Structure 1
Amino acid sequence: MVTRRPHPALRPGIHSYRGFRLAFDRPRLRLEVPAGSVSVVIGFAEPLRIVGGRGASPEGVTCASLVSGLHTRPSFGGHDGRAHGIEVVMDPWTAFRILRAPMHELADTVVDLTDLLDGSLPYLTEALAETPGWGARFTLLDSFFVTRLRTGPAAAAGVPAAWQQLAAQLGRARPASVAAQVGWSERALERRFQEQVGLSPKSVARVLRFRRSLRLLEAGRRASAIVEICGYYDQAHFNREFKEMTTRSPSRFLAEREHGARLQAQLDRAEGQITSVVLTT
């Protein structure tokens, strides 16, 4: 795996590029948990299979290149042991500009990237696959994304500001208060979040609170402290929310993360952030 930050013109909206070429001796299955970001995977070879999400069939979605929008629930992704491509992690309002699609259509689901890039995906994939070296590939992606941002729709400046307010208050913020701080009505805030984020402000707050609790849990904080810091009603509320977003209890999730901890961290979407668990098969 090779990681690089995108060109400064693309930051902070695009967080990272990660080139990967995996060759395991057996199929792999990952539990993906809500990450608070949008993931775009451009695959060069074998398809990936994702199960779970809004409106998903029991068979899931199978495609080489995909987009995973903001999630409030877990999903499962797998491959036959081999995978080759690039993953791009970005803020949802940046994905709105690049993909030119209402983000609520991508929320809690995974879709084939072919359906979103105006017919340009085959050319982009071929160019990336044929370009020698990850550095040159990332530079090609820089150019592609700069063009998409320059010619795509504008994002409302208040959306990132409202997101930061929700993150700072960890689920305690009232949507009306957040809307007032960015100069909008509560209805306008809801409408712009549905379009440019994909989730309501209340759902975003749930995900951000879960992300904070996950960091505290891995750092060894007791459940009672997590409840107080993150603003859960009580421990039962915390356990229920955690299971809804992971299908696991906190203790089971930690135990599975500790199995092959180095590989677990390498396969997370973003450095220093827990986004998945590699499951034993």
Structure 2
Amino acid sequence: MYRERPAGFAGAVLWTSTTRAGAAPTRVLPDGCVDLLWTSRGGMLVAGPDRTAHLSGGGPARRWVGLRLPPGVGPAVLGVPAVELRDRRVPLADLWGDRDVDRLAERAEAAPAAVLTEIAVARLRAAGGQDPLGVRVAAALAAGATVAAAAAEVGLDPRALHRRSRHLFGYGPKTLARILRMGRALALARAGTPLAEVAARCGYADQAHLTRDVRDLAGVPPTVLLSR
């Protein structure tokens, strides 16, 4: 069972998930986000930005509560470059120390969503807010801009944009653009748009290109994702 709702700041999303013992793993698609997590069996964790789908679950029953930070926001909240968390699930104590996290974990047992939100809001405020460059680049790429156009919009040359993107998003702008384009494509397909039209509207060369790109990022073709 999975539910989500807006967290009320910086475009973040709160989500909850309950998994049964022995249930089939869930395919979590890359989305450019960093998640701050509490789990009933593992305490507090950070899920870094993924380049390909991550299979989650498949073990004992557990409850998850997560705060999904949109692309570019994670470094301001967590205090580390996103590239250091890429494709990783890291105990929060590894980043902030056992003593501080133990206190937070005790409070989170009773109200995990409230504690995760409180932590993120306080740390984001202390950091001076999210990096405006990350907001602009992510918005441009999410709208379908090319990497060159996004670089020009923020006044950076491609190499400088690549460096800043690794810090903010965990990977270069080309990878982020592919991931965000897949998200747009799947949203259109789930709304009933035929895949050939989805490919044309999202800038793929054709439906075969869409299928290859989704398989590369998600591990399965779009038809499998849409059948679930």
* TM-score category, normalised to shorter length: 0.7 to 0.9
How does 1:130-279 map onto structure 2 within 5 Å? 131=110, 134=111, 137-152=112-127, 155-169=130-144, 173=146, 175-255=147-227, 257=228
Residue-by-residue CA offset, 1:34-85 (whole Å, 9 max, x unaligned)? 1232222112x324xxxxxxxxxxxxxxxx4332222221121114342134
Structure 1 pair 140/238, CA: closer, same or farther in 2 (3 Å)? closer
Structure 1 pair 2/200, CA: closer, same or farther in 2 (3 Å)? closer
TM-score in terms of structure 2 length: 0.86
- Is 2:125 the partner of 1:126? no
Q: Aligned partner of 1:17: which letter? A: L
Paired with 2:90 and 2:128, the residues of 1 have a C-alpha distance of: 21
Structure with the largest fraction of helix: 2
Paired with 1:188 and 1:162, the residues of 2 have a C-alpha distance of: 12
1:98 is aligned, of 74, 77, 92, to: 77
Total equivalences in the alignment: 226
Paired with 1:219 and 1:2, the residues of 2 have a C-alpha distance of: 19
CA RMSD in angstroms, aligned pairs only: 2.4
- Is 2:79 the partner of 1:107? no
Paired with 1:142 and 1:29, the residues of 2 have a C-alpha distance of: 27
Q: Secondary structure at the match of 1:65?
A: strand
Paired with 1:2 and 1:31, the residues of 2 have a C-alpha distance of: 16
Structure 1 pair 142/219, CA: closer, same or farther in 2 (3 Å)? closer
Q: Secondary structure at the match of 1:101?
A: coil
Q: Secondary structure at the match of 1:189?
A: helix
Residue-by-residue CA offset, 1:129-149 (whole Å, 9 max, x unaligned)? 1x3xx4xx5444343223322
8 Å CA contact 2:37–2:66 kept in 1: the answer is yes
Q: Secondary structure at the match of 1:121?
A: helix
Structure 1 pair 84/252, CA: closer, same or farther in 2 (3 Å)? closer
Structure possessing the higher relative contact order (Cα contacts under 8 Å, 6 or more residues apart): 1
Paired with 1:3 and 1:250, the residues of 2 have a C-alpha distance of: 23
- Is 2:3 the partner of 1:46? no
- Segments of structure 1 that go 5 or more residues without pairing to the other structure are 48-63, 258-281
Alignment match, 2:61: 82
Alignment match, 2:33: 37
Identity of aligned residues (%): 27
8 Å CA contact 2:38–2:108 kept in 1: the answer is no
Structure 1 pair 142/71, CA: closer, same or farther in 2 (3 Å)? closer
8 Å CA contact 2:22–2:58 kept in 1: the answer is no
Superposed displacement of residue 218, structure 1: 1.4
Paired with 2:173 and 2:21, the residues of 1 have a C-alpha distance of: 43
